[in-house]
Chain A
Amino acid sequence: AAGVIQSPRHLIKEKRETATLKCYPIPRHDTVYWYQQGPGQDPQFLISFYEKMQSDKGSIPDRFSAQQFSDYHSELNMSSLELGDSALYFCASSAGNTGELFFGEGSRLTVL
C-alpha cells in the first residue's frame, strides 16, 4: 500500500540558506501535518492543512511557511536557516475521523 512520501530524505544546508521539504500524502487523505523532531526530542507539531487550507498551527517559526497544493501534496519552506533548525521533519497524513496519523520516514535537515 502507498505510504506518505517525503523528499528529500536528507538535506544539508549552510546557515542563512533556504530549504524546501516536500510531502506526498497517502492517496485520498485530505489532511497533512508537519512535525519537527530535534535530536533526542519528541516530535513537535508545526502546522497542518485540511483541504488545502491551514487548519492548525503549532510552534512553527515565522521563518517557516507551508502550503498544501491542489493535488494535496504539501511543501514546508524554511528560510534564514539556523543551526537549531537541524532536525528530522516528519509529514503525516490522515483521512477524516479515523483517529490515525500515517507518518512518512522523515526528511533529515542538517544546518552547518
Chain B
Amino acid sequence: AQKVTQAQTEISVVEKEDVTLDCVYETRDTTYYLFWYKQPPSGELVFLIRRNSFDEQNEISGRYSWNFQKSTSSFNFTITASQVVDSAVYFCALSEDHDKIIFGKGTRLHILP
C-alpha cells in the first residue's frame, strides 16, 4: 500500500534561514510519481513539482530545491533564504499507476520576520 509521511508537523524558522521539509514515502510499485503542493494562508493549493520514479536528478527552481533519493524513499524539499511569503502548509503526495494520489498530512511552515 502507498503511504506518505511528513514527520514534521510544524516548523518555525527566522527569515533568510534555509529550511528543509521532509517527505518519506512507501510504495511497492517501481513506477510512481511524487508531488509537492503549497497551501498558503489564503487556502488554495498550489502545485509546485511533479517527479517520476525514474528521474532521481535533483531539481532547483529559484529558492526551491528538491532532493529525491530512492534509496531512502525520500523526496525532501528545501527552501533557501526563506521569506515570510513562504509561510504555508506544504503537502507531499504520491501516486502509483492507479487511480488516486495519496497526500501526506502536511507540514506547517512559519517564517518569522
The answer on A and B forming one complex is no
Residues of A in contact with B (beta carbons under 8 Å apart) = none
Point out residues on B near A: beta carbons under 8 Å: none
